[in-house]
């Protein structure tokens, strides 16, 4: 990524992918949890199965009942009014000339960190106001459970709710303060309940479920979910552009980043909001 070119190019999609999207997928708590990601710049309608009939037991040459019916719904994401996440990072031409290689790395890290922080804040706790993203904590139809980090059995109670919905959790998201409280919990033999999995970059697990820390979640609140039931829509045209004339009077250049996302739940019952207000959907 050349920082001192005379023109102001729009970076190629391949460059944007390696520079922004791939690192973002690794650093974002929500994106790294394994949601279903859809690429769309326009409104997206995702069908969902709301209910269905019961198959019949049919013998040889017997008529198959034709009254089996399925009821479908849909979730609508990425409306035209959905706003983007945008940022401009300025830097001096002297810095661009004197430290090209190091500046590339620093700016890339800064952009990815800033956007991943904002994106996680929106995907987890966004309230949907002013055409912004409605995050997981404010989605309708989620299940509710109590949460006390000093009583890890609360996680088992939440797992029971998911089991009743025939869902297996693949991630527990907790605040950093609650994580430390869980980290101190021990069984009757003095062994820590929160186990570290050294084969997976020291990932911690509680009752077999990977635990991820995010301070975008309020203390006293946790999310236990099957993240494959979370749909994230990513605009197919994220933009990273070098602005070499906008701040010419300051002898500066800038990088402008715009990216647009949305989130919905394919199966709201696959998400349990623990503690807090129990989510907007409730039971």
Of residues 277 and 273, more confidently modeled: 273
What CA–CA distances, in Å, run from 226 to 4, 106, 266, 267, 271?
Answer: 45, 35, 11, 9, 7
Whether the predicted pLDDT of 199 surpasses 70: no
> Reduced to 3 states, what is the DSSP secondary structure of residue 143?
strand
pLDDT at 27: 86
Give pLDDT tens digits for 204-260.
889 989 999 999 999 999 999 999 999 999 987 777 888 888 888 888 888 888 899
What are the helix (H) ranges across the chain?
Answer: 13-16, 22-27, 29-32, 93-98, 100-125, 153-164, 176-184
The domain segmentation of the chain, as residue ranges, is 13-48+73-275
**Global confidence as pTM:** 0.82
CATH superfamily assigned to domain 13-48+73-275: hypothetical protein PF0899 domain (3.30.2320.10)
* Alpha-carbon span 197 to 252, nearest angstrom: 47
Whether the predicted pLDDT of 9 surpasses 70: no
Whether the predicted pLDDT of 29 surpasses 90: yes
DSSP at 83? P
**Considering the chain, what is the average pLDDT of its residues?**
84
């Amino acid at each position: 990524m050349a920082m001192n070119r005379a023109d102001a190019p729009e970076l190629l999609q391949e460059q944007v992918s390696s520079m922004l999207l791939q690192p973002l997928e690794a650093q974002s708590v929500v994106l790294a949890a394994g949601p279903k990601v859809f690429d769309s710049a326009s409104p997206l309608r995702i069908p969902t199965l709301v209910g269905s009939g019961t198959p019949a037991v049919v013998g040889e040459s017997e008529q198959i009942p034709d009254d089996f019916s399925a009821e479908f719904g849909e979730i609508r994401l990425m409306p035209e009014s959905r706003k983007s996440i945008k940022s401009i990072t300025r830097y001096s031409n002297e810095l661009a000339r004197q430290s090209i290689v190091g500046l590339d790395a620093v700016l890339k890290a800064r952009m990815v960190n800033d956007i991943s922080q904002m994106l996680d804040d929106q995907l987890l706790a966004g309230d949907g106001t002013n055409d912004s993203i409605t995050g997981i904590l404010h989605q309708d139809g989620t299940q509710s459970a109590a949460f006390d980090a000093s009583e890890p059995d609360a996680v088992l109670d939440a797992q029971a709710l998911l089991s009743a919905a025939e869902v297996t959790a693949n991630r527990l998201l907790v605040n950093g303060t609650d994580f430390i409280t869980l980290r101190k919990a021990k069984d009757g033999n003095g062994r820590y309940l929160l186990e570290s999995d050294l084969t997976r970059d020291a990932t911690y697990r509680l009752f077999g479920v990977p635990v991820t820390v995010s301070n975008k979640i309020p203390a006293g609140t946790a999310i236990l979910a099957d993240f494959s039931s979370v749909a994230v829509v990513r605009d197919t045209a994220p933009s990273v552009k070098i602005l070499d004339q906008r701040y010419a009077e300051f002898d500066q250049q800038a990088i402008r980043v715009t990216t647009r996302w949305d989130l919905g739940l394919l199966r709201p019952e696959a998400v349990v909001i623990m503690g807090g207000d129990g989510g907007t959907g409730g039971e």
